[in-house]
Structure 1
Amino acid sequence: MLAIIWHSRTGAAQAMAQAAAQGAAQAGAPAQLLLAEQINPAQCIAAQGFLFVCPENLGSMSGEMKAFFDRCYYPLLEQIEGRAYATAIAAGTAGQGAQAQIDRIVTGWRLRRVAPPCIILTGADRPDSILAPKALPHTALQKCRELGQLLASGLEMGAF
């Protein structure tokens, strides 16, 4: 099972997570959307692989996604080593800060990146556009569907 662990503030990351889940379903593979604020270590242990989806806020991952890592990091040490992961970041103009932060954290879990980072830029760079609800273009959502398809099918075939 692919665990799609997500958090969203304005809808962009949520749409990305849902698109990835659609892609996994198209591949005929099980995936579960798990809200970062609610997930527990047992749910992570049950997963074969992970897709972490969140917005970049102030150059780092959202606080709720960080809280997930804070809550689950130590209970999962030596429990999920070698499992596949990928990331999808919704960002206004960059995304690399959140990306690097997640990569650093999962290094301790010894997860294996199996797909390049997926960073979707919304162009939001002013208070009104940053806080506004986001609607992503079809091309961005298609990229997320393809990522979900890749991860889920790779897990199903044992490629990861």
Structure 2
Amino acid sequence: MARLLIVHHTTSPSTQAMLEAVLEGARTDEIDGVEVVTRAALAATAVDVLAADAVILGTPANIGYMSGALKHFFDQVYYPCLSETAGLPYTLYVHGNNDTTGAVRSVETIAKGMSWHRHRPPVTVVGELSRADREACWELGAVTALAAAERAASRTA
């Protein structure tokens, strides 16, 4: 079975709504054979990443950067996962009150340093979530679950 890991720092109603939409998409009935594992950024470990076939990262934009909790996650997993997870598909969702640019850039810089593969552009939301934003998060969850299934299938073929 494929494994999709969702690592998130959920600190507000908006980031909670984004996480819930991502989870709904990842767990849709149309996708079989994917286990969805959710970890708070401060609880996720290298073992979680090493067992994943794809990763979704979720963070608020805090003072122009990813959350400290997500940065802590990267600090903990960087060296243990560096050579073992090259090519790992990942996606990202970010919520900000004013801007998300710095948060996206910081996550993408670290993921690139780990040789992870961005599966699709991030979902970014500034301010209140719209219905379209929730749908984009749902789609992010679904397509990343499919990426996990594809990676797992290619590794066993």
Please tell me whether residue 98 in structure 1 is matched to residue 103 in structure 2: yes
RMSD of aligned Cα (Å):
1.7
Distance across 1 between alignment mates of 2:94 and 2:5:
16
Q: Identify the residue that residue 42 of structure 2 maps to in structure 1.
A: 37
Q: Which amino acid aligns with 1:14?
A: Q
- Where structure 2 has 5 or more consecutive residues not aligned to the other structure, the ranges are none
TM-score by length of 2: 0.87
**1:20 to partner: Cα distance:** 0.9
- Where structure 1 has 5 or more consecutive residues not aligned to the other structure, the ranges are 124-135
Q: Identify the residue that residue 134 of structure 2 maps to in structure 1.
A: 141
Q: Identify the residue that residue 113 of structure 1 maps to in structure 2.
A: 118
**1:6 to partner: Cα distance:** 0.2
Distance across 1 between alignment mates of 2:75 and 2:90:
18
Deviations 1:9-51 (A, max 9, x none): 2132232122111101113332211110101100110000111
Note the 1:1-160 alignment, pairs <5 A: 1-26=3-28, 27-28=31-32, 29-122=34-127, 136-158=129-151
User: Runs ≥4 in structure 1, deviation > 3 angstroms?
Assistant: 157-160
Preserved CA contact (<8 Å) 1:23 1:145: yes
How many residues align? The count is: 148
**1:63 to partner: Cα distance:** 0.8
Preserved CA contact (<8 Å) 1:24 1:30: no
Q: Which amino acid aligns with 1:21?
A: L
What SS does the aligned partner of 1:60 have? coil
- Identical-pair percentage: 28
